[in-house]
Amino acid sequence: MTDTHGASVYLTFDDGPDKEYTPRILDLLAAARIKATFFMIGELAYRFPDLVRRVQAQGHRIGNHTYSHRHPWFVTAARARREVADGSAAIADIIGERPGLFRPPHGAVRRAMAEESARLGEEMVLWNLSAIDWGPKGTAAGIAGRLARVKGGDVVLMHDSARGINRPGELVGVLPQLFRRIEEGGLSPAPIPLKLKG
């Protein structure tokens, strides 16, 4: 890892906030002194506003993950735009500022959403390494194996919510191992900068 020593790595958590798993992940991040980025669903942010504020207070970055996580390809263009705008507004209502980042549900890029996020000043951020912490592959062993590949410059996709087929209960057990690997590799975990591409 000599070529990536000191390089940043960007840990991201989608689909929250979740009343059980978001606090557990925040505790683990705090213990390891690691900052991350949380892409939040607007309707869940309204349901658990104290968790949104806690994420912000602990120095993590908050991104927009739409209002209700509808699949971008299965809604009208008008609804797709509204999902982005309403998700952004929900977060702004709670923390007093719009998020500067946007991630489309399922990583499905749709022009209407891209245009709306750009209009709101939110940069679209995807990922290049997924924990696949969901579905049949979302076992602790499988997640650990995939996260063992982390290297400098990676944007890592994980989930802090038990929504749908997500398996955050498997993820939380391997996060300390990931954090040790990051430290031993000389990597610098950080929130996604607001101008990652620039």
**What's the pLDDT tens digit per position in 65-103?**
999 999 999 999 999 999 999 999 999 999 999 999 999
Is 18 part of a structural domain of the chain?
yes
Nearest to 13 by CA among 68, 71, 87, 63: 63
Task: Look up the domain containing 151 and give its range.
Answer: 2-189
Nearest to 160 by CA among 35, 42, 19: 19
The answer to whether the beta carbons of residues 171 and 20 sit under 8 Å apart is no
DSSP, collapsed to helix, strand or coil, labels residue 12 as: strand
We report the CATH number of the domain holding residue 118 as 3.20.20.370
Is 196 part of a structural domain of the chain?
no
> In the chain, how many domains are there?
1
Beta-carbon contacts of residue 27 (< 8 Å; ≥ 6 apart): none
pTM of the model: 0.95
* 14 annotated active-site: yes
Residue 135: per-residue pLDDT: 97
Most distant CA pair in the chain, distance: 48
Set 14, 18, 154, 160: catalytic member: 14
Residue 196: per-residue pLDDT: 52
- Alpha carbon dihedral 49, 55, 61, 65, in 10-degree steps, equals -40
**What's the pLDDT tens digit per position in 2-53?**
344 569 999 999 999 999 999 999 999 999 999 999 999 999 999 999 999 9
Set 60, 65, 69, 159: catalytic member: 159
- Percent of the chain at pLDDT > 70 equals 95
Residue 195: per-residue pLDDT: 75
* 159 annotated active-site: yes
